[in-house]
């Protein structure tokens, strides 16, 4: 998966393991327990959350299906094998509910750019449109984007509880380390809900 700080124009030269998890830490289960424990958090989930089905990001020409994913055998967030599909962390917050909902996708594949290839180009104020299973459209606005080494990522800010209705998008970035078969950093784009249609 390609870098935001070192864009790769000839992505076909980069060998990528498409099954590589984009998860930035192995502490998701611990954070998920915090999210679901109302006695230790002010987080209040929506009364009837509805699964997300599609994502549209007009500013970078993204139109993709969203499918729910849990964790892989290593305890990391699983992601789609299909490079054009986006994964929603189903054990976390549903987009549109109070909390940090998380979507992950590949940045490239062995054959070229993937669904989140241009995620690095998003700017503050850009809009993310999510369509759910009820046909409702949720519009989120980009607030910030940050790159992290996996061991330095602020897991609570990405996956943990919050009173805002947030949606965080994750992909890989930075240098591709061929010796281990994955990118050194993760890009996280932080967004907040601004309207429901």
Q: Which residues are catalytic?
A: 106, 172
**SS3 (DSSP) at 70:** coil
Return the bridge partners of 65, or none.
54
Q: How many CB atoms lie within 10 A of CB 170?
A: 26
How far is the C-alpha of 83 from the C-alpha of 134, rounded, in Å?
26
- Closest by CA to 144, choosing from 161, 172, 124, is 124
How far is the C-alpha of 163 from the C-alpha of 88, rounded, in Å?
20
**SS3 (DSSP) at 151:** helix
With beta carbons less than 8 A apart as the criterion, state whether 175 and 183 touch: yes
Q: How far, in whole angstroms, is CA 158 from its chain's centroid? A: 9
Instruction: Measure the CA angle with vertex 167, ends 42 and 142; round to 5°.
Output: 120
């Amino acid at each position: 998966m390609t870098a935001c700080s070192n864009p790769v124009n000839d992505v076909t030269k980069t060998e990528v393991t498409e099954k590589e998890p984009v998860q930035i830490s192995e502490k998701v289960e611990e954070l998920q327990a915090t999210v679901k424990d109302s006695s230790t958090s002010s987080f209040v989930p929506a009364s009837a959350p509805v699964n997300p089905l599609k994502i549209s990001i007009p500013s970078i020409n993204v139109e993709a299906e969203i499918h729910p994913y849990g964790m892989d055998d290593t305890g990391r967030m699983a992601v789609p094998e299909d490079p054009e599909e986006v994964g929603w962390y189903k054990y976390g917050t549903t987009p549109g509910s109070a909390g940090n909902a998380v979507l992950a996708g590949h940045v490239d594949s062995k054959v070229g750019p993937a669904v989140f290839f241009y995620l690095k180009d998003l700017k503050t104020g850009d809009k993310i449109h999510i369509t759910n299973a009820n046909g409702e459209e949720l519009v989120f606005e980009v607030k910030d984007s940050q790159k992290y080494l996996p061991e330095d990522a602020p897991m609570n800010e990405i996956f943990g509880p919050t009173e805002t209705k947030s949606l965080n998008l994750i992909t890989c970035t930075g240098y591709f380390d061929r010796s281990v078969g994955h990118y050194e950093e993760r890009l996280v784009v932080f967004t907040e809900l601004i309207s429901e249609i």
